[in-house]
Structure 1
Amino acid sequence: MSAATTPVPAAGRRSLAPVLLRVAPGLLLTLAALTGPWLAGHTIDKPVTAAFAAPGGSAPLGGDQLGRDVLSRLLHGGTALIGSALLVATIIIVLAVTLGCCAALSPRLRSVVERSADVLILLPALLGIMLVALAWPEGGRWAVNCAAIVLGTPYATRVVISAAAPLANAGYVEAATARGERLPYIAVRELLPNLRATVLALFGLRFVEAVYVISLAGFLQLGPQPPDADWALMIRENSPGILLNPWATVAPSIAIAVLAISVNIASTTLAPHTARKAVLTP
């Protein structure tokens, strides 16, 4: 039988099913959050029930502290969070890959980058957020995004250096160096293609970290301000009435947790096992 007519084994066809099952929740939740404003039945600032009203009628998840529809605010609140987390994770990966690959090829630069990263890694997340918020009091969400980038880049850079260092002595890198290629060229054309799996797994971890930092800032009211619809801000605002309408606090908490877990599962599923091991190993 020719190769063209050889049937694909059933096991090969079924191998995609576990991947799709693990990737689908993150994609569906992200899609739901991005399209949420068009699905909401009410505006985010219009009272439709009594304060902390129980679920029912036009408010399936009840009302918040001002009688606004919890479900509508929940559908609006994920767009900015996911957009900010994607932006933060992308910038962190670009900076980490640039610094990490160049540092792996230059021992002197590596020493400087690693020492600087080690110092910044020790900075607590809460302290970093407060420092950026105090230095940029009118920054709002952009100040929080900057804080998340500052907090996430050192760890990501360390991971990239660890993954790229063994490749720096490979034959193709030495050949490029012998040809007189410059450091940026070697980093982008020789090292980066061999780090794609590591970068993918690292992107998922940085996305989850960005969600955590942005949510923490929202809970502390250092980023978005009322009456914005933000999941973390909803938790803070509605916590006094958790016994009256638990969904006003529980629903955004579940949304944040499911978003972080599903995206992390999706990224680690798409990345090979060797890349996941490299990222998760201290």
Structure 2
Amino acid sequence: MIARRLPITPARLGIRFNAVGITGATIVLFWGLVALLAPLLAPYSVGAIVDQDFFGPVSSQFWMGSDYLGRDVLSRVLYGARFTVGISLAATTLACFIGVTLGMIAAVAGGWFDTGLSRFLDALNSIPHLMFGLVVVAAIGSSLPVLIGTLAVIYSPGAYRFARALAVNINTMDFVTVARARGEKTSYLIWSEILPNIVGPVLADFGLRFVFIVLVLSGLSFLGLGVQPPYADWGAIVKENIGGLPFGAPAVIFPSLAIASLTISVNMLIDNLPVKIRDRSA
């Protein structure tokens, strides 16, 4: 029977939303909108000193208190969302694009190309992620392109291994064999036969890697190698206000809660997106 392409729909991907998944998606969407609209939502400029007191309490004027310099924490958290969400999303997209593309090519090509690329990326993946990020950023300098590129390099080997494992299984199925017998090119096999059958699990893996990258980015910023002043992501906000931790300063608590809410909600979302591979030869 001749293989035919079917459209990619949520039903085909096996996507099912429940209350937990909807809650996670709502929080993720909230932080995405905050990242986009931060300049419109923030009551003060990101670097403006607006309070005479440092580590000021929550009040009607400062909803999240003030930081160690008297800056509005709410404004800095809102602006910080742009960097935390933006850098993490860009790095995750780049890492998954590189990893998934190479994984599918390796699965179809096989032979020396598959072996050599797999061993190289295994060696790269064996380097501790935070240590690798520290060395690269400290050597080159911290900037948005460097942070995005470094995080993408760190997590592309994992995306490669995941996509390759899926693609190897799909590559042995009957509809791929039929397409190969028809004389279809490798590019057709990859983008028209294999990718539509692994896109669901890849999207779930995308969400998981986004969480990992948020945490690594926050760790780099906490060590002073992330987004540089006067701008800051959430990890940098925690780091610069760590002196207020013994006092329970809101300037430490709220950015920490922001990191936790984003990572937990992404996990809630991807844990409630059950996906499965379906044979498209029917």
| Distance (Å, rounded) in 2 between the aligned partners of 1:92 and 1:135 | 21
Contact 1:101/1:164 (CA < 8 Å) preserved in 2?
yes
Alignment counterpart, residue 28 of structure 2, candidates 26, 29, 36 = 26
Identity among equivalent positions (%) equals 35
How many angstroms does 1:207 deviate by? 0.9
| Corresponding position: 1:61 with 2:64 | yes
Contact 1:63/1:245 (CA < 8 Å) preserved in 2?
no
Alignment of 1:235-274 (within 5 A): 235-272=238-275, 274=276
The 3-state SS of whatever aligns with 1:242 is: helix
Contact 1:232/1:252 (CA < 8 Å) preserved in 2?
yes
Unaligned runs of 5+ in 1: 1-14, 276-282
| Corresponding position: 1:195 with 2:221 | no
Q: Which has the higher helix share?
A: 1
CA RMSD of aligned residues (A): 1.8
How many angstroms does 1:17 deviate by? 5.0
1:135 to 1:176, Cα distance in 2 relative to 1, 3 A: farther
1:141 partner amino acid: L
Counterpart position of 2:4: none
How many angstroms does 1:16 deviate by? 5.1
| Distance (Å, rounded) in 2 between the aligned partners of 1:65 and 1:82 | 24
1:182 to 1:233, Cα distance in 2 relative to 1, 3 A: same
| Distance (Å, rounded) in 1 between the aligned partners of 2:251 and 2:23 | 29
After TM superposition, where is structure 1 displaced by more than 3 Å over at least 4 residues in a row?
A: none
Alignment counterpart, residue 43 of structure 1, candidates 27, 42, 45 = 45
Counterpart position of 2:181: 178
| Distance (Å, rounded) in 1 between the aligned partners of 2:25 and 2:63 | 28
How many angstroms does 1:225 deviate by? 1.2
- Deviation digits for residues 213-242 of structure 1 (CA, Å, limit 9, x no counterpart): 211111112121121132111111100122
| Distance (Å, rounded) in 1 between the aligned partners of 2:57 and 2:28 | 29
Contact 1:30/1:259 (CA < 8 Å) preserved in 2?
no
| Distance (Å, rounded) in 1 between the aligned partners of 2:148 and 2:228 | 15
Counterpart position of 1:94: 97
The 3-state SS of whatever aligns with 2:184 is: coil
| Corresponding position: 1:122 with 2:111 | no
1:60 to 1:22, Cα distance in 2 relative to 1, 3 A: closer
Of 20-29 and 152-161, more deviation after overlay is shown by 20-29
1:27 partner amino acid: L
- Deviation digits for residues 27-64 of structure 1 (CA, Å, limit 9, x no counterpart): 22322343233111111111122111222242122211
| Distance (Å, rounded) in 2 between the aligned partners of 1:243 and 1:130 | 28
- Which TM-score applies when normalising by structure 1? 0.86
Contact 1:53/1:245 (CA < 8 Å) preserved in 2?
no
Contact 1:132/1:144 (CA < 8 Å) preserved in 2?
no
Counterpart position of 2:214: 211
How many angstroms does 1:103 deviate by? 1.0
Count of aligned pairs: 259
The 3-state SS of whatever aligns with 1:180 is: coil
